[in-house]
Amino acid sequence: MESNTLILRGAHVIDPKQGIDAIADVVVANQRIEFVGDASHVDGEVLDLTGHYLSPGWIDIHVHTYGTLGFSDPDAIGVYQGVTTFVDAGGAGIGVLDEFEATMDGLHTSLYAGPFVRPLGLIALNFLEGEIRSLGNIPLSEWVDFMKQKRGMVRYLKCNAMGNYGPGSLKISKGLAQVLGVPLYMHIGEFQQHKVEETLAMEAFRIAEPGDMITHVYHGNMGKVVDDHGKVLDLVRRAQDRGVLFDVGFGGYNFAWKVAEQAFNQGLLPDTISSDLQQFNVVTPVKSLANVMTAMMILGMGLYNVISRVTDRAARAISLQDEAGTLAPGMPADITVFDLVKEPLVVTDCILQKRTASAYLKPLMAFKKGLRFDCDMERAKKESNWLVQYSDEKVPQRAKWLTAPQKQFLSDLAEALAHVKWSITPEEEFDYDKALELQRIFHFVRKRHDLTLKACLDSVHFSFTDHPFPIQAGLFIMCQERDFFFSRIREIVANQVSVEIL
Amino acid sequence: MNCEQAHSTDADWAIASPVPINDLKFPLRVKVGDETIVIHQTKAGFRAVDKGCPHQGASWTQGDLIMNESMIKCPLHAFTFRLSDGKGVNCPGFRIKVFDVRETDGLLYVRVPKKVGVMEA
């Protein structure tokens, strides 16, 4: 055996894909799993994990790392919480997948995209996402071209089954998913503050085909999976029976104990467990995928079945079985080590209802391709990770790193934007066309410069935030008060090039 | 929302509570004139905000003071506002009302607009 062999000794190994649920050793070499079993005859570095649990690296199929919901430090909800693979659920759309790729490079956690059907990705910021009126709103050739080049990046197509838009928008999304050859991943449940007369949630259950996924299945808003008497709807049951996958997607709006208990009591269990972690729910109530897994245990799901829903079942749902979800020989050494702490823990849902677990899951360490990361459950809660602060009182320190060509880009960008008006107010409908226009101008100017996309994005981001929040360029600009935007750019480029802005 | 911090020219100091400060618990929800406000005790002194988050109305009595107690975070969805001027930090376009608070002879006073609800930005 080679000297880089690592023996993880004596943990209680749970690998549902292989039917393993026993004390065993796990041998890792060359970043891959050698075998699970008795390693007493193997030479190598030994890590004694007696008394702990070990499973394939956890997969969270629904997080937000990018865009207006994303994090400054996405690994904080990844390897540092025991999650070795995650999927960004809708942060990017076809119009910004290049930005997604440019800015999300270099994470320790494996990141995949579940792009949103609209071109900018999710807008969030308390705005409804709007409808897809026709195929004319879908840049089909761009989608097809992208999938030809980067198919491995995309795990599903996300859309929202919400709002007063009628079923057409969902059917168009379904059609696009079919063209692209990926599952459709549908959000159900109206946000509480949005008044709608009729929910699209039921239409989601109607159009979903085997392999398509419905998330937020235990939400407590309009469009629940149970009727007014708490009975699981026949439509919902039939969808799961025919192979539609149900995902937890806990989130900040999307999980209610009452609904979950009613559903579990009638056997409506999730196929996958995901967190929907984002900057607006990481401190509370979601906290971590481990917290959501503990919630499932409160509902009566056993540990083995919980692990299955973040390993082999999660991998199958996003067609990642060849890369993740099991400790089978030859697989990448993605591993989560955790404890089942026999102490009570209160888990709060999205409407502040509480339940108490008799024991809870606590990730200890993750191995990503054999590289060890010790978990730090506080890391994600740091304000610098989730609180987007536009530094309007002083120029961010990062702006000092901008090069002369980047400042020239900023100057030209400001000049190109000089005659465009914009504002963002929560009382008004979001001006999607304006965000698209700002996006187009950003890229129009970018293409006139000999700079990478990342360098151009950094130019804008470094000018306004101290921490890296990779938000879509057009949306990022739109989030700045217009006068302030120009004054800041003017301040940054003042010593570099002579420009006249406004 | 057009409301901002009240200015001295259009605001008066009003007593927040006849109870001495030492006998009060914070955060404190009180009504001053037409305005229901919540007074927080921060490292930098007392500061008052309007009654609830503009997102979904969660009471600011449940708000968390963050960033060295210079901001208040909603307990529901982490919408965060600066206590200095009420500006939304991570929620562009959103604002809350904020009010100066002072301590005089052991009692708390809040500077509120003379005519609440018609302030202009």
Helix A404-417 and helix A482-493, axial crossing angle in degrees, nearest 10: 150
CA within 13 Å, CB half, A385: 21
In chain A, the largest separation of any two C-alpha atoms, in whole Å, equals 74
Per-residue pLDDT of chain A (502 residues; tens, 9 = 90+): 445 899 999 999 999 999 999 999 999 999 999 999 999 999 999 999 999 999 999 999 999 999 999 999 999 999 999 999 999 999 999 999 999 999 999 999 999 999 999 999 998 877 766 666 666 678 999 999 999 999 999 999 999 998 877 788 899 999 999 999 999 999 999 876 667 777 899 999 999 999 999 999 999 999 999 999 999 999 999 999 999 999 999 999 999 999 999 999 999 999 999 999 999 999 999 999 999 999 999 999 999 999 999 999 999 999 999 999 999 999 999 999 999 999 999 999 999 999 999 999 999 999 999 999 999 999 999 999 999 988 888 999 999 999 999 999 999 999 999 999 999 887 777 888 899 999 999 999 999 999 999 999 999 999 999 999 999 999 999 999 999 999 999 999 986 544 334 3
Report residue A442 as tokens. Answer: 């950003």
* Spatial CB neighbours of A390, under 8 Å, sequence gap ≥ 6: A464, A465, A479, A480, B89
Which residue of chain A is at minimal alpha-carbon distance from B54? A426
**Cβ neighbours of B93 in A, within 8 Å:** 125, 423-427
**Residue A90 and residue A87: Cα distance in Å, rounded?**
9
Q: Are strands A184-188 and A213-215 parallel, antiparallel or unpaired?
A: parallel
Mean pLDDT of chain B: 86
Judge whether A253 and A189 are in contact, CB under 8 Å.
yes
**Cβ neighbours of B77 in A, within 8 Å:** 252-253, 280-281
Question: Is A427–B1 a contact, with Cβ atoms under 8 angstroms apart?
Answer: yes
CA within 13 Å, CB half, A189: 25
Question: Is A383–B77 a contact, with Cβ atoms under 8 angstroms apart?
Answer: no
Report yes or no on whether pTM surpasses 0.95. no
* Bond preceding residue B27 cis, omega within 30 of 0: yes
- Compute and round to an integer the Cα radius of gyration of chain A: 23
Report residue A178 as tokens. Answer: 């079919």
Q: Nearest CB to A252: which of B67, B77, B93? A: B77
Reduced to 3 states, what is the DSSP secondary structure of residue A320? coil
Asked if B54 has any chain A CB less than 8 Å from its own CB, the reply is: yes
CA within 13 Å, CB half, A145: 8
Residue type, A386: W
**Cβ neighbours of A478 in B, within 8 Å:** 92
Query: Could you report the predicted ipTM of this complex, rounded to two decimals?
Result: 0.84
What pLDDT does residue A196 have? 77
**Residue A47 and residue A5: Cα distance in Å, rounded?**
11
Which residue of chain B is at minimal alpha-carbon distance from A424? B93
Q: From the centroid of its chain, how far is CA A437? A: 26
**Residue B31 and residue A462: Cα distance in Å, rounded?**
43
CA within 13 Å, CB half, A375: 24
**Residue A65 and residue A77: Cα distance in Å, rounded?**
9
Asked if A195 has any chain B CB less than 8 Å from its own CB, the reply is: no
Find, among A190, A388, A390, A374, the residue nearest to A282 by Cα. A388
**Residue A220 and residue A229: Cα distance in Å, rounded?**
13
Find, among A162, A173, A232, the residue nearest to A207 by Cα. A173
Which residue of chain B is at minimal alpha-carbon distance from A383? B67
Judge whether A164 and A196 are in contact, CB under 8 Å.
yes
**Residue B81 and residue A418: Cα distance in Å, rounded?**
29
* Spatial CB neighbours of A239, under 8 Å, sequence gap ≥ 6: A205, A206, A208, A214
